[in-house]
Amino acid sequence: MNSSITGRIHSIESFGTLDGPGIRYVLFMQGCPLRCLYCHNPDARDTEAGRTMTTGEVLADILTYRPFIKRGGVTLSGGEPLLQPAFACELLDGCREQRLHSAVDTSGALPLDISRPVLDRADLILLDVKAIDDDFCIALTGMGNRLTLATLEYCETARKPVWIRHVLVPGYTLDTSRLERLADHLLRYTCIDKIELLPFHKMGEYKWEALKHPYALKHTQPPTELEVQSARAIFQCRGLL
Supply angle C-alpha 19, 200, 17, rounded to 5: 20
Predicted confidence (pLDDT) at residue 1 exceeds the cutoff of 70:
no
Helix (H) or strand (E) holding 85: helix 85-97
Give 74's pLDDT tier (boundaries 50, 70, 90): very high
Percentage helix, strand, coil for the chain under 3-state DSSP, each rounded to 5: 40, 20, 40
How big is the chain by its Cα radius of gyration, in Å?
17
Fold of the 6-236 domain: TIM Barrel (3.20.20)
CA atoms within 13 A on the CB side of 127: 34
Work out the mean pLDDT of the chain and round it to a whole number. 96
| pLDDT tens-digit series, residues 90-114 | 999 999 999 999 999 999 999 999 9
Percent pLDDT > 70 in the chain is 99
Which DSSP symbol is given to 99? T
Which ranges in 133-224 belong to alpha helices (H)?
Answer: 134-141, 146-158, 176-186, 205-211
The domain ranges of the chain are 6-236
State residue 2's pLDDT score.
54
* Widest pairwise Cα distance in the chain: 51
The side-by-side arrangement of strands in the sheet containing 124-128 is 51-54, 6-16, 24-29, 73-77, 102-106, 124-128, 162-168, 192-199
> For 120-158, b where at least 16 C-beta lie within 10 A, e where not — what string?
ebbbbbbbbbbbbbeebbeebbebbbebbbbbbebbeee
> For 67-86, b where at least 16 C-beta lie within 10 A, e where not — what string?
eebeebbbbbbbbbbbbbbe
| pLDDT tens-digit series, residues 158-203 | 999 999 999 999 999 999 999 999 999 999 999 999 999 999 998 8
State residue 68's pLDDT score.
96
| pLDDT tens-digit series, residues 9-36 | 999 999 999 999 999 999 999 999 999 9
Give 115's pLDDT tier (boundaries 50, 70, 90): very high
Strands 73-77 and 102-106: parallel
**Taking residues 114-119, what's their average pLDDT?**
98
Rounded to whole angstroms, the Cα distance separating 127 from 107 reads: 6
The residue type at 13:
E
The residue type at 146:
R
204 vs 95, residue with greater confidence:
95
State residue 4's pLDDT score.
77
**Taking residues 200-229, what's their average pLDDT?**
93
